[in-house]
Amino acid sequence: MAKDKHVSETPATQLLKKNRVAFTEHPYDYVDHGGAMEAARQLGLDLHQVAKTLIMEDENARPLVVVMHGDREVSTKNLARQTGAKKVSPCSVETAQKHSGYLVGGTSPFATRKKMPVWVEAELLDFSTIYVNGGRRGYLIGVPPSALTQLLGGQPVSVGLDVKSRAPES
């Protein structure tokens, strides 16, 4: 783990500071494809309280941000239904990076390159603090969930699927 607790600023932390949103910094050793599970393990955090930031798109290739529990998957079928889209699917890595301005594995919901609608798994809003990517691989920030709704206009959705009991989507 990094000895220096402060990580240099990212567009995400600059936006939070500019808007006077308090956050905590949680650097960890990035592991390819480790995701939220690896971050939570290294930092001793509850995986349900660690959120992953996903860049998806609708049937017209319009991008959107989904903030989901680290231990859940997104039901794209339910997401489409709840957001008024016909279909929602994950973006390719290249497309996600182009829209967000962040490397996949370091995508923050804050200060994305392109302004996109933000959808937040409703249960995340019940925590006093959630841990999201701070805009760099190996770097989580602890923020109040209200930062997602107030700063980004994030809307709640209930689209989480337990990873272990995931039913095939039709």
Mean pLDDT of the chain: 92
Q: What is the domain-level CATH number for residue 21?
A: 3.90.960.10
pTM (2 decimals)?
0.91
Task: Give per-residue pLDDT as tens, 12-55.
Answer: 999 999 999 999 999 999 999 899 999 999 999 999 999 999 99
Using only C-alpha atoms, the chain has a radius of gyration, in whole angstroms, of 15
- Is 169 within the bounds of a domain? no
- Is 1 within the bounds of a domain? no
Q: What is the pLDDT of residue 10?
A: 96
83's CB contacts (< 8 A; 6+ apart) are: 58, 64, 117, 119, 157
Q: What is the pLDDT of residue 163?
A: 75
- Is 168 within the bounds of a domain? no
- Is 145 within the bounds of a domain? yes
- Is 56 within the bounds of a domain? yes
CB atoms < 10 A from the CB of 168, how many? Answer: 4
How many domains in the chain?
1
- Is 6 within the bounds of a domain? no
- Is 4 within the bounds of a domain? no
**Which alpha helices (H) appear in the chain, and where do they start and end?**
11-18, 35-43, 76-83, 93-100, 146, 152
SS3 of 31, please? coil
Domain limits at 22?
11-162
- Is 149 within the bounds of a domain? yes
